[in-house]
A = this chain, B = another copy of it.
Amino acid sequence: MNKISTAVLLLATAAFATASRAEAPAAKPVHGEYKDWLTLSISHRLEKQLMRTILGNEVAIKAARAGNTKPWPDGSIIAKVGWKEKTHPNWPQAVVPGEFAGAEAMIKDSKKYAETGGWGFGHWEGNKLVMNDKEKSATCFACHAPMKDNDYVYTAPVLQ
């Protein structure tokens, strides 16, 4: 093989390696119990380029169906599951989930979490739900505080 064709081959290999890295799907995430929960709503956060689905455990779905969400009953858990936005490879005007970006939780327990409106804030690490410490919960709560009249919840259930 002469020098030029070797160089071309190396370049082609490099290009191929780059292309396949870019195309490689992100590692399949391990989802928590929310993967068996029904939908409350969905959202697309433009400023964060994140797409979300908002799911509820049985207590939360039952409450949403009954319109019993002011306040949400103790035992309600709301999961916000997010992905980076991505353009659908075959339909450029469709924005769809790309890489998994994590899942957060709000758990209603009016006594345990009385200091933060009755809601505990947490997130899933793999399939394990980890509650935030007081300091971190305070920053979550601060951002949800303007929704006081809606029991600190932004999401309006739409499938109920």
A contact set with B: CB distance below 8 Å: 31, 35-39, 41-48, 51-53, 55, 81, 83, 85, 88, 90-91, 93-97, 100, 146-147, 154-156, 158-160
Given A35-B160, A38-B36, is A46 in contact with B90 using a C-beta cutoff of 8 Å?
A: no
Query: Is there an interface contact between A39 and B53, defined as CB atoms closer than 8 Å?
Result: yes
Q: How many copies does the complex hold?
A: 2
Query: Is there an interface contact between B158 and A83, defined as CB atoms closer than 8 Å?
Result: yes
A64–B45 Cα gap in the complex (Å)?
26
Query: Which secondary structure characterizes the binding site on chain A?
Result: strand
A88–B153 Cα gap in the complex (Å)?
12
A52–B107 Cα gap in the complex (Å)?
26
Q: Which residue of B lies closest to A147 (CB)?
A: B90
